[in-house]
A = this chain, B = another copy of it.
Amino acid sequence: MEIKSIFFDIDHTLYDSSLQVESARRNAIKAMIEAGLDVDEKTALESLNSIVKKFGSNYQSHFDELLKEFDYPYDPHIIAAGIVAYHTTKIAYLVPYPDTVPTLIKLNETGYKLGIITDGIPVKQWEKLIRLGLQHFFHSVFISSDIEKEKPALEMFNLALKEMKLKPKEAMMVGDRIDKDIAGANKVGMITVQILRGKYSKNIPKSKLEEPDYVISTMKDLLDILNKYV
């Protein structure tokens, strides 16, 4: 069956989100030390990582917690230094992988309808697409928290098929996570492609459902796979 539509995850699929977050945290710590936090970089970074783990990544006061951790009083100068460095770095690293844009252009001109299926807060995910400069490539964007069912729940994938008027085998899902992107898309019968990027790429499938139809290491490999379906 001919493939008509290709859906992508965002993080570790269109851009290097681990590099982004690691760099942003490291630069935040450096700036806080420059502003007066007298803790060595490695210790402070480990502490920040456990704070983010404990409070979640959308918590608003990670740096306030960090000061408490080292028995500092509330200090808006040190906190602001961390925030400015964090955001500046985060934005600087919001660039697509080198092969993302050339491949999307190629897929688009070949006639595939492109879409996004992702978890996360809708406004935040759109901010990423806009800052990545990719928002105009995607015909449809499906973000799980809109329907309160995260990947691998099949609702998101079914919604995408329904709204784009696709049979499952006319749709391909490309993502880095076998437990989320691949398992979810397999459930509804899409063609699944795992891209080996980022920290989740070494995970081993725990069930048949987590086994992708294809594994690729760069986005350009998609073009070869798609040629088999023409």
Contact = CB atoms under 8 A, between A and B. Distances in A.
Given A76-B125, A80-B129, 17 more contacts: A76-B122, A76-B123, A76-B126, A76-B143, A76-B146, A77-B135, A79-B123, A79-B126, A80-B124, A80-B126, A80-B127, A80-B130, A81-B130, A81-B135, A83-B123, A84-B127, A84-B131
A229 B139 CA distance: 68
Contacts of A81: 126, 130, 135
Interface string A117-157: 00000111111011100010000010100100000000000
24 contacts: A35-B135, A76-B122, A76-B125, A76-B126, A76-B143, A76-B146, A77-B126, A77-B135, A77-B141, A79-B123, A79-B126, A80-B123, A80-B124, A80-B125, A80-B126, A80-B127, A80-B130, A81-B126, A81-B130, A81-B135, A83-B123, A83-B127, A84-B130, A84-B131
Contacts of A146: 76
A62 to B, nearest CB: 12
Interface residues of A, number: 21
A81 B122 CA distance: 12
A81 B35 CA distance: 33
Interface in A59-89: 76-77, 79-81, 83-84
A59 B57 CA distance: 21
A66 to B, nearest CB: 13
